Each structure stands twice: as structure tokens, then as C-alpha cells.
Amino acid sequence: MQRLIRIGSRDSSLALWQAKHIENLLKQQGIQTELILVKSEGDINLTSPLYEMGVQGIFTKTLDIALLTGKIDIAVHSLKDVPTKLPQNLKIAAIPQRVNVKDVLVYKDASFTVTEEAGITIATSSLRRKAQWLNRYPKHEIESIRGNINTRLEKLKNTANWNAALFAAAGLDRIGLDVPFRKEMEWMLPAPAQGALAVVCREDDSEADAICKTLNHFETWTCTGIEHSFLRNLKGGCSIPIAALAVAEKDKVHFRGNILSLDGVRKVEVEMEFDLHNCADAGAQAASKLLSSGGDKIAEELKKFMTE
């Protein structure tokens, strides 16, 4: 009898799209599937800033427990939400080809123009986006915004003094939201692994692992692995103002990364190139270079902030 693969997902619109996307890919291979929905603490608490809620694994730990207790066989996550170190006996089985990695600015009307002058208020739940925005536009105000994509868009629409809000392009595109006024932030470096999905299974479930392996995309696996390694070696979580992007071009990987102070005043950057087929320690190398270039002082400050 053919194995039924039980797919776990959060119940937000984006999480459901992601889980159904993986489900459809598996069904195309003749795999029987069942979708099981689980609420996460990150979805339930819509008022506390992410960095006050334990951060690591906030959107994944409920599904981690469901995996470890055998309630589901695989879990589907946005890879940028997955901690750099998984719980014991869990593994990433596959990372499909990722999509748009950019952040986008969503605004209310066509007349809005970003200038360097004061009087502009931008909403975001991300310390990374906040720090990069303030680094470029220090006179602007930043407001915290929580909730799923639909909720955040509604809050932007109904909050009079907010001019715009920042989102991941991949999230908007995946669920097909018609956002009339948006602009990709070409200058903003994304979160490590942004735009990619992760399919997680138990280490001892070799059958589920083998089934999911067929969905893996080598270049995406390699590039996001470098980005995650960079983050891990900086001892940062998914909400810390650390950004990274690795891009594969022919047999090379071009990497850029940065770390910023919370107020955006200080920024340390690194840019390196690696061999696509020989880059196992690329993330560690990039992190070491960034730390030795002054990033260590910012990293220590961020560590203290996260533990207070």
C-alpha cells in the first residue's frame, strides 16, 4: 500500500498556499497526501513584537512538536522562519527553487513619493527592514505592525498617519494579492533564505525524506545554506537585523551580507565570491570577515538586546 504523506501547515493564507504548493508537487508524482492544520504561537499573539516572543522557531515550533510526536510526516515553512539549528531528530529534507527574494514597499496612493525629509511613517514588523530603512532614511518614523499579510494590509489602509509598509515580495505574490501601489526595494538586502520554502521531516523517516528529496533544487539549497550558515555563525535569529543573499551564476556564488545596529546608524557589510561546488564553509568565512571588520561590536550589542 502506498504511503500517505501527512503535511502539516499553519492556517494563515500564506502558509496554506505554501503547503498546498508542496502538496501539488507531490501529487504530480503520484504521492497520496493529507493536509493537517496547526496554529502557531506566532499566529495567535498579534500584539507583541516578534523579538519579545522567544523569536527562534516562533512560527515553526508547533509543527516541530507535531512532527516529533508523529501527528504529521512533513512540515512546510518559509525557510527564513526556520531556526538555523533544528530540534533533535528533525531535518530539512528539501528546499524547492525559490522565487522573488526582494522586499517591497506598499503604499496607499500613486501620489506618494519617498523622500529623505521627515514626516514619513513606514510600518514594518522586521528589525532588519527597520534598521536598513533608517540607515537610508534616518529622519523617517517606523511603526511596528503585526499579523498575517491580509491583516497588515488592512492596518496600513486604516491607519491615517502611516504612509507605507514593507513586505516580502514572495508572500504577496504567492497568495496573489492585488496590491495597487508597490515598489521593489532594490537596495534593501533580504533576510537570509527569503523567498524559499523548507520541507522538514523526521531524521528517522527515510521514506518521507526520499519522497521530499525529489523536490529539492540544488542551487537554492546551496545558496540558502550559505545564508543560514552566515546567520548561524553570527549567532543571530530570524528577527535580528542581519541580511544575506547568495546568488548562483554558472559555477560561482556571489554573496553579500550585512549587520546593522537597531537604530540603523551603523552598518557593516561583506561581499565575497565562492565556487558553487566547493562552498561548504562559505557562510562561516563571510561571517568571520564581517565580524573582523567591525561587525563583532554590533553583534554583541544585538545579543545583549535579545537577552534583556
pLDDT beyond 80 at 39: no
Q: How confident is the model at residue 306 (pLDDT cuts 50, 70, 90)?
A: confident
Residue-level pLDDT at 41: 55
pLDDT band at 50 (very low <50, low <70, confident <90, very high): very low
pTM: 0.90
- Of 233-237, 276-280, 299-303, where does mean pLDDT reach its minimum? 233-237
Residues 6+ apart with CB under 8 A from 162: 121, 122, 123, 143, 155, 156
Residues 243-263 pLDDT 10s: 999 999 999 999 999 999 999
Tell me whether residue 81 is one of the annotated catalytic residues.
yes
- pLDDT at position 109 is 87
Residue of 11, 64, 73, 81 marked active site: 81
**Domains of the chain and any CATH numbers:** 1-96+196-216 (3.40.190.10), 103-184 (3.40.190.10), 217-308 (3.30.160.40)
Q: What is the pLDDT of residue 54?
A: 34
Statement: residue 140 has pLDDT above 60: yes
> Which residues partner with 248 through β-bridges?
253
What long-range pairs does 47-55 form, CB within 8 A, spacing at least 24?
Answer: 47/146, 48/146, 49/125, 49/144, 49/146, 50/125, 50/126, 50/127, 50/146, 50/239, 51/127, 51/239, 51/305, 51/306, 55/237, 55/238, 55/239, 55/306
pLDDT band at 308; cut points 50, 70, 90: low
